[in-house]
Structure formats: C-alpha cells, structure tokens
Amino acid sequence: MGGQALIRFLAYLFKSIWTWSASFGVGKWATADAVVTGDPVRVEGFFGATVEIVYSYRVEGELYTGLHEELAFMGSDSEYMERFTKGRTFVVRVKPGEPEVSVVRDDDQGDGIKKRLERIDELHGRDKGLAPK
C-alpha cells in the first residue's frame, strides 16, 4: 500500500470511528422522511474524495435542510452517488428539541427500511427513487 493510499485508509478509518462514536444515542432520536434536493457532488480533498448529499425534511410541518458528507473509499463514491440521486427519499434521525439537527445513518437505510422507502416514494408519486412523475 503506497503512502497516499495509507493516508486515505487511515482517514477513512478515523472518520468511521468518529462517526460511530458520535452516533451513540442517535438511534433513539425520532425519524423523518427526507428527500435529496440536488445531485450528489463529489469533492476532492486532501484525504481523498467526499460525496456531499443535500436534503430536506419536515418536522411538525416545518421545512429543514441538511448536508450529509460521506468519505469515499475504494470506489464507494459512485455507489453512494447512485444511491442518493436527486428526488430519492430516505430516512434521517432528528435531534429531540433541535429539529434543525439531523443525521443520516446507514442502519436506517437497510433492507428493513427498504419497504418503507418504497412506500414513501409511492406516496409521493415516485418510481423507485426517481423524480416525481
């Protein structure tokens, strides 16, 4: 493994550990249905590429926006960009008492959630994550 690849791997590992430790208790936060409001953007940085996902969600009728950044590792950026295309719905966790704070968790996007996401898409007139018809 070359020097730059090692640095990227360590950065990915650090970010993963940081995200994991920062997410303690987040699993108890309420969920909200979010929608990707723009095409995902790949941003090159010192430690490699990051994919930025901009989204919106509603809590008690109020509209909020969020930005999720995912450090790409070994080609995962293209998978992530396909997964969160503009118009796609997904689940976010919303901090109690601070609805402007939201978190995207991979655990909430798993197979158990897949049917819920498909139902949300159905309700919003979307076909498998595509923009409204």
Identify the CA nearest to 39 among candidates 27, 51, 50, 31.
51
Residue 18 lies in a domain: yes
Domain count, the chain: 1
Q: Would the CA dihedral through 31, 24, 103, 106 be positive or negative?
A: negative
- Which ranges of the chain have pLDDT less than 70? 1-25, 46-47, 73-77, 110-120, 122-123, 126-133
Q: Looking at the whole model, is its pTM more than 0.75?
A: no
Q: Is residue 130 assigned to a domain? A: no
Of all residues in the chain, the percent with pLDDT exceeding 70 is: 60
Phi, psi of 105 (to 5 degrees): -120, 130
CATH number for the domain spanning 96: value is 2.40.50
Give the model confidence (pLDDT) of 19-49 as tens digits.
554 555 688 899 999 999 999 998 887 667 7
**In the Cβ-directed half-sphere of 100, how many Cα atoms lie within 13 Å?**
0
Q: Is residue 133 part of a domain?
A: no
Residue 11, pLDDT score: 60
Amino acid (one-letter) located at 124: H
Domain region containing 46:
3-123
Q: What are the C-alpha distances in Å from 90 to residues 9, 10, 15, 66?
A: 28, 29, 22, 12
Per the listing, tokens 């819920």 go with 116
Whether 129 is in a domain gets the answer no
